[in-house]
Amino acid sequence: MSNLVWLVPLLPFIGFLVNGLGRKFLPKAGVSVVGSGSVIAAFAIAVGIFLQVKAPGFTPQVVSLFDFISVGKLQIPFAFQVDQLSALFLLIITGVGSLIHIYSVAYMHEESNEGFARYFAYLNLFVFSMLLLVLGANYVMMFIGWEGVGLCSYLLIGFWFKNPSYSKAANKAFIMNRIGDLGFLLGIFYIIANFGSVSYAAVFPQAATLGAGNHTLVIIAVLLFIGAMGKSAQIPLYTWLPDAMAGPTPVSALIHAATMVTAGIYMIARSNVIYTLTPSVQQFIAIIGVATALLAASIAIAQNDIKKVLAYSTVSQLGYMFIALGVGAYGTAVFHVMTHAFFKALLFLGSGSVIHAMGGEQDIRKMGGLKKYLPTTNWTFLVGCLAIAGIPGLSGFFSKDEILASAFATNKIIYVLALLGALMTAFYMFRLYFITFTGSFRGTHEQEHHLHESPAAMTIPLVILALLSIFGGYVGLPEIFGKNMLHEYLAPIFAPSAPFAAVHELEHSTEIILMVISSVLVIVMIAFAWGRYRNYQDNGAESTGLTKVLENKWYVDELYDAVIVRPLMALSQFFSEVMEKMGIDRLVNGIGKTVQWGGQQLRVIQNGQVGFYIFAMVLGMIVLLVIGLLF
């Protein structure tokens, strides 16, 4: 089955070509079949590959298709790597991606035929790019997919490009990602300069021989992590992700759950040998992760846009994944990627169902009491909230508990801060749920009259994702409850770095105590949110103090605007108005005008009178004679 791995990215790419080229004449039904069918078919093949990889005795395979770059001794093939990590990401991307495609058929139905086809073409290209990223057998192929998802995010965030604010959000995402991409690109150059290859199979064994703390590895690890900070929205490059919700809601689900933002996690997990040998960089990653988790969670507490709460929640959850990477728990980070894909896709698609019912309204202060109008959306959204909050028995509990336990075993301060972030997560998610679904309806009479549950094409994906959010975590049960199947499955990927990793083990009794503490505190936070928001009424008063600061996102955007954007705009204005128009343009134009004026003066000489020409010739001879006598 792994020999057919090339079909997995090829099918969405064909979907992109068909829908993109046929956008002006394909009917919506045809676009839906091609767009969704190509990803579903890719998922079916991915399942077959996963079963093959999971079978005993499997060894990683590299499927080379052709020589991509050949320069001197540097050979970079266009090759796919099939192993435990890539197979798992294939399932996440195509599985969750398929549900988002099916959901989109109903959600985007009001678009024009051409817009509908253009949307699905972009969506297929997004999936293709992410598949290329995780399947590549070397860093160059990973970078091609990396840039591909960046381009697709730009196209889809700004899908409704006639709205200036949406176009601005798309530009912001594109530009901020370029900052991180530069770091990744420099990292690839440095890898080539030091290892003479970019293939994982060649780089990692060489890296292992350099030993812990080697400065070459430190530089590579830092440069690659800069790329990860941009793509996975970590401090200071996180501000693009909350604005990325400007695009259609299914796009937000795709970006936040199954594709783009997980790229940084995948890259570091794939490069686990390099990062295990650079403990100082790992500590830095953990610090950035915990700072991002807390900052984003604090902002989410005071947001009133349903999608913005979820967007900051994604930034915060990505911080948890980086905490896991920073403490060396690579498998745990991948586990949280998987469970987060389930419940975050569920929550975003659920918010889309709410927005669909509310006629485009996204302010939760104007909702309330929706559970009786949207029963399926209500209970599936509640499952998503319970999962992300870390209620025992649901998927988010197992993955988040593993992160907290790993942090406790490594650094108690990081554990306490991560636990604080987990409590904030429970509070802001249930603040969102209670304000939206309980109490009395606070919208207009017209909105209330049109409230209805979404069609089956939207609710069926919600139900499937809700079931995955409940049961998806049981593949990673803590060892005290039995066998951790996910860790066993991923063990070959992280085996090369295991000899260099510090061992931090917890007693089972300690793990149980940590679980009980986090579970009790999370339930207390949910009860606190219930007491405060179950009968929420908007009094229209303007926020003050810390609430106002949080509503304005700690004024980070304003700070960036004052410190970076405005000075750069002023500098570019100076270069444009002074250096170019008053300097370079005047110099160039002056030379042109001088030549033109000289030509006009010399033209007088060409008067057609022979006598004048003889006079000029004699005069010239005299001048030459004088010059000759003098010099």
**What are the structural domain ranges in the chain?**
1-137, 138-537, 580-630
The encoded tokens of residue 402 equal 């593993």
277: enclosing H helix or E strand? none
Query: Mean per-residue pLDDT for 267-292?
Result: 96
| pLDDT recorded at residue 22 | 92
The encoded tokens of residue 330 equal 């690579």
| pLDDT recorded at residue 244 | 83
- pLDDT, tens digit, 9 for 90 and up, residues 483-515: 789 999 999 999 988 888 887 778 888 989 999
Q: What residue spans of 358-484 are helical by DSSP H?
A: 375-389, 395-410, 412-437, 445-449, 456-471
Query: Count of CB atoms within 10 A of residue 250's CB?
Result: 27
Q: Cis bond leading into 236, ω under 30°?
A: yes
The encoded tokens of residue 455 equal 């069609």
Q: Which residues contact 211 (CB under 8 A, 6 or more apart)?
A: 277
Closest to 195 in 3D by CA, of 263, 131, 140: 140
* Cα separations in angstroms, 602 against 321, 529, 610: 76, 88, 16
Q: In angstroms, rounded to a whole number, what is the distance separating the alpha carbons of residues 548 and 301?
A: 11
Residue 347: pLDDT above 80? yes
- pLDDT, tens digit, 9 for 90 and up, residues 422-456: 999 999 999 999 999 999 999 888 888 888 899 99
Query: Mean per-residue pLDDT for 522-549?
Result: 90
Residue 580, phi then psi, degrees to nearest 5? -85, -55
Any bridge partners for residue 75, and if so which? 70
| pLDDT recorded at residue 616 | 87
Residue 140: pLDDT above 80? yes
Query: Mean per-residue pLDDT for 467-473?
Result: 94
Residue 582: pLDDT above 90? no
Strand 61-71 relative to strand 74-82, pairing: antiparallel
The answer to which of 75-89, 228-242, 309-323, 605-619 has the lowest mean pLDDT is 605-619
319: enclosing H helix or E strand? helix 306-326
The encoded tokens of residue 321 equal 């994944």
Query: Mean per-residue pLDDT for 598-615?
Result: 84
| pLDDT recorded at residue 155 | 93
* Prediction pTM value: 0.90
| pLDDT recorded at residue 515 | 93
H and E: helices and strands count for the chain = 27, 2
Residue 162: pLDDT above 80? yes
Any bridge partners for residue 67, and if so which? 77
**Secondary structure class of 363 (helix, strand, coil):** strand
Closest to 101 in 3D by CA, of 174, 7, 11: 11
| pLDDT recorded at residue 466 | 96
The answer to which of 123-127, 201-205, 474-478, 510-514 has the lowest mean pLDDT is 474-478
Residue 286: pLDDT above 80? yes
Residue 614: pLDDT above 80? yes
- Residues 558, 179, 572, CA angle at the centre, nearest 5°? 65
- pLDDT, tens digit, 9 for 90 and up, residues 225-250: 999 999 999 999 999 998 888 889 99
615: enclosing H helix or E strand? helix 610-630
552: enclosing H helix or E strand? none
Closest to 381 in 3D by CA, of 463, 297, 314, 448: 463
The pLDDT-based confidence of 331 (bands split at 50, 70, 90) is: very high
The chain-wide mean pLDDT, for the chain, equals 92
| pLDDT recorded at residue 185 | 95
The answer to which of 175-184, 191-200, 603-612 has the lowest mean pLDDT is 603-612
The encoded tokens of residue 498 equal 């295991």
| pLDDT recorded at residue 489 | 94
The answer to which of 364-368, 406-410, 539-543 has the lowest mean pLDDT is 539-543
| pLDDT recorded at residue 544 | 85
Left (φ > 0), alpha (ψ -120 to 50) or beta: where does 214 sit?
A: beta
Residue 481: pLDDT above 80? no
